[in-house]
A and B are shown apart, each in its own frame.
Chain A
Amino acid sequence: MNRKLLTGNGAAAWGARLARIDYLPAFPITPQTEIIETIGNWIDNDALECRMVTMESEHSMLTAAGAAAVTGVRVFTATSSQGLLYATEMLYTVAGWRVPLVLVNVSRGISSPITLEPDHNDVLAMRDCGFLQLHCATCQEVLDNMLIAYRLAEHPLIRLPVLVNLDGFYLSFTREPVQIPSQAEVDRFLPPFSAGSIRFRGGESLSEGVAVLEGSAYSYFRYEAHLASLQGLAVYEELGLEFGELFGRQYTTLECYRSEDAEIVFVMIGSFATKGKEAVDRLREAGAKVGLVRPRLLRPFPVSALRTALAGKKGVAVIDQNLSLGKGGILLTELSSALYGIPGAPPILAGFVGGLGGRNISNEEFFEIHKVVQRGVATGVCPAPQLLYTDEELRALRKMQSVARAAKTNRGGGA
Chain B
Amino acid sequence: MSETTYQRLKDLPAYHILGTGTPMCAGCGGLATLHEVYDILGEKCVIVNAAGCMTLLSVYPCTPFRGSWLYTAMACAPAGAQGVRDGLDILKKKGRLSQEEDLEVVVLTGDGSAYGMGLSATSGAMDRELDFLYLCYDNEGYGNTGQQFSAATPHAARTATSKGSLGYPGYKKDLFAIWAAHRPSYVATVVAAEPLDLARKIEAAGKLSGPRLILALSPCPTGWEYEPSATVEIGKLAVQTGIWPLKEYVDGKVTHTKIPHPRLPVREYLKAQGRFHHLFAPRENRGLIAEIQARVDRYWQEVL
Contacts and interface: CB of A to CB of B under 8 A. Distances in A.
Interface stretch (B38-46, B203-211, B228-236, B254-262): B38-46
Given A93-B73, A208-B71, A211-B55, A57 B84 contact: no
A55 interface: yes
B86 A53 contact: yes
A210 B43 contact: no
Band of interface residues on A:
35 or more
A53 B82 contact: yes
Contacts of A73: 86-87, 90-91
A200 B84 contact: yes
Contacts of A93: 72-73
B48 to A, nearest CB: 7
B74 to A, nearest CB: 9
Interface stretch (B7-15, B123-131, B135-143, B154-162): B123-131
A67 B72 contact: yes
Given A59-B76, A60-B76, A63-B80, A203 B43 contact: yes
Interface string A171-206: 000000000000000000000000000001111111
A205 B68 CA distance: 6
Nearest to A49: B93
B261 to A, nearest CB: 41
Nearest to A93: B73
A64 B59 contact: no
Interface string B60-75: 1001011111111101
Interface in A77-93: 89-90, 93
A399 interface: no
A67 B63 contact: no
A72 B70 contact: no
Contacts of B128: 53-54
B151 interface: no
Interface of A: prevailing SS: mixed
B56 interface: yes
A71 B88 contact: yes
Tell me which of A54, A59, A209 has the highest count of chain B C-beta atoms within 10 A of its own C-beta. Answer: A209
A217 interface: yes
Given A71-B88, A201-B68, A89 B127 contact: no
Given A53-B82, A212-B59, A60 B124 contact: yes
Contacts, number: 158
Given A56-B124, A93-B72, A202 B82 contact: no
B169 interface: no
A262 to B, nearest CB: 47
B46 to A, nearest CB: 5
Given A212-B60, A217-B60, A68 B72 contact: no
Contacts of A22: 90, 94
A23 B89 CA distance: 11
Nearest to B76: A63
A66 B128 CA distance: 18
Nearest to A92: B73
A203 B68 CA distance: 8
B68 A63 contact: no
B65 A64 contact: no
Band of interface residues on B:
35 or more
Nearest to B130: A53
B87 A59 contact: no
Nearest to A24: B86
B296 interface: no
B76 A90 contact: yes
A209 B72 contact: yes
A60 B86 contact: no
Contact of B89 (A51, A64, A203): A51
Contacts of A23: 83, 86-87, 90
A212 B58 CA distance: 9
A73 B70 CA distance: 16
A369 interface: no
A55 B87 contact: no
Contacts of A205: 63, 65-68
Contacts of B44: 202-203
Contact of A68 (B55, B60, B84, B121): B84
A204 B68 contact: yes
A225 interface: no
B286 interface: no
A61 interface: yes
Contacts of A204: 67-68
B60 A56 contact: no
B36 to A, nearest CB: 19
B250 to A, nearest CB: 25
Contacts of A63: 72-73, 76, 79-80, 82-83, 121
B293 interface: no
Interface of A: 22-23, 25, 51, 53-57, 59-61, 63-73, 89-90, 93, 200-213, 217
Instruction: Give the 9 A-B residue pairs with the shortest CB-CB distance, closest first.
Output: A71-B87, A67-B83, A56-B124, A202-B44, A60-B79, A209-B71, A64-B83, A63-B79, A68-B83
Interface of B: 42-46, 48, 55-56, 58-60, 63, 65-73, 75-76, 78-84, 86-91, 94, 96, 101, 103, 120-121, 123-124, 127-128
18 contacts: A22-B90, A51-B86, A54-B128, A56-B127, A60-B82, A63-B76, A67-B83, A73-B90, A73-B91, A93-B73, A200-B84, A201-B103, A203-B44, A205-B66, A205-B67, A207-B70, A211-B56, A213-B59
Given A64-B83, A208-B68, 18 more contacts: A22-B90, A23-B87, A25-B82, A51-B90, A60-B76, A60-B121, A63-B73, A67-B82, A69-B87, A71-B83, A71-B84, A89-B73, A200-B84, A202-B44, A203-B66, A207-B63, A210-B59, A211-B56
